[in-house]
Amino acid sequence: MLKKIVAGAAMGVMLLVAGCGKEKTTVPKEINITYVKAPLNIPSILEKNRDMFGKEFSKDGISVKFHELTTGPEQTQALAAGELDFLHALGGTSAIIAASNGVDLKITNIYSRSPKGFMLISKSADIKEPKDLVGKKVAGPKGTILHQLLLTYLGKENLKVDDIEFINMGLPEAMAALESGNVDAALLAGPVALKAIKNGASVVTTGEGLVEGIVVTAVSGKFLKENPQLVDRFLKVNEEAVKFIKDDFETTLKITAEDTGLSKEEVMELYPLYDFDTEIKPSDIEDLVKTQDFLIENGLQEKKIDINAIIRK
């Protein structure tokens, strides 16, 4: 169980410009960050293995703790409870749903885009198009980019989730269910998708042309308000990690392979599917708006929000 973050410790006194008053400034004793290495979150893998955040924040006596919470709901619930400060690799769908439910968060940057990295996979040669899924069992995580991929794919032939038997489960469980024949198809991404394919399964569809696969980094609204400079420094480190991928790809490849248990060749197979450019582009905002429309239309979100209002300016 995650421990509550201590609110902060007084770090001294700052004279006001007017010279007639004093104001205390506070910094947290620790910063709590999610560590989500799947599907293939190379920036996070580098940041943790090279202690990039630790080196940055230890200058101020701040410790950095990583927490392996991988599903959107458990991440956003921990953020709302004050147990996490940064959700570093949160699906765009999860960010929108959480914000619509009142979770105080701000999107600071794009973590990745990967339309081809999200897949619907089956071992059945008879499943080739949406209509072939009617009445079939499909496993995957609900309320995620993968779920959006499935429903959008079904929508190509005016089908709904009620036309199939959807089973909500995580990626490892979905892959195991596919391998054992307990489901007809599974929603997979990253190494588990690659493993399923190498074990004889086939890709029915990727997200290309269906979803952009936007993953974001989000920060607690409270943390952002109290520590805007620390947020800026967090983003600076993330930019350095993305730059390191380009500057020293061989080391990146080695660290990623060791951390994920993949071979270098397998990392190379997956890497081209991901775009780690952190800039929030107008096209990203447009996609998040479309994602919200999709979530509402499919009953996954009730209250509509202003997407621009949850993006840090």
pLDDT interval class at 26 (50, 70, 90): confident
Phi, psi of 86 (to 5 degrees): -125, 135
Average pLDDT, the chain: 91
Q: Is 248 helix (H, G, I), strand (E, B) or coil?
A: coil
Instruction: Render pLDDT for 293-313 as a digit per residue (tens, 0 to 9).
Output: 999 998 999 999 999 999 998
pLDDT computed for residue 4 by the predictor? 43
Residue 45 has pLDDT above 60, yes or no: yes
Strands 202-206 and 118-122 come out as: antiparallel
Residue 22 has pLDDT above 90, yes or no: no
Residue 223 has pLDDT above 90, yes or no: yes
Mean pLDDT of the 186-196 span: 95
pLDDT computed for residue 14 by the predictor? 32
Strands 137-140 and 165-168 come out as: parallel
Instruction: Render pLDDT for 56-93 as a digit per residue (tens, 0 to 9).
Output: 999 999 999 999 988 889 999 999 999 999 999 999 99
pTM across the whole model:
0.87
Question: Can you read off the two tokens belonging to residue 231?
Answer: 């947020």
Peptide bond before 39: cis, by omega within 30 degrees of 0?
yes
What percentage of the chain has pLDDT greater than the value 90? 86
Mean pLDDT of the 109-131 span: 97
pLDDT computed for residue 313 by the predictor? 85
Distance CA 307, CA 268 (A): 34
Q: Is 207 helix (H, G, I), strand (E, B) or coil?
A: coil
Instruction: Render pLDDT for 95-105 as a digit per residue (tens, 0 to 9).
Output: 999 999 999 99
Q: Is 199 helix (H, G, I), strand (E, B) or coil?
A: coil
Q: Nearest Cα to 69, choosing from 51, 50, 54, 88?
A: 88
Assess contact for 217 and 107: CB atoms under 8 A: yes
- Maximum alpha-carbon separation in the chain: 78
pLDDT computed for residue 23 by the predictor? 39
